[in-house]
Amino acid sequence: MTELQKIFLLGVFVYYLGKGALYVTLYVALIIVEKHARIRHKQIQMYLRKQRAEERERWKVAYNLYENKKKEIPVSKPLELSQLINNPNSFSAYSNVRCS
- Position 74 scores a pLDDT of 77
Determine the Cα–Cα distance for residues 89 and 15; give it in Å rounded to an integer. 84
Query: Domain-by-domain residue ranges, the chain?
Result: 3-86
Determine the Cα–Cα distance for residues 72 and 88; give it in Å rounded to an integer. 30
In this prediction the pTM is 0.51
- Position 88 scores a pLDDT of 67
DSSP 81-92: HHHHHH-TT--S
Per-residue pLDDT of the chain (100 residues; tens, 9 = 90+): 899 999 999 999 999 999 999 999 999 999 999 999 999 999 999 999 999 999 999 999 998 998 888 777 777 888 787 776 676 665 655 545 555 5
Determine the Cα–Cα distance for residues 61 and 57; give it in Å rounded to an integer. 8
Residue 42, classified by CB atoms within 10 Å of its CB into exposed (0-12), middle (13-18) or buried (19+), is exposed
Residue type, 70: K
CB 76 within 8 A of CB 90: no
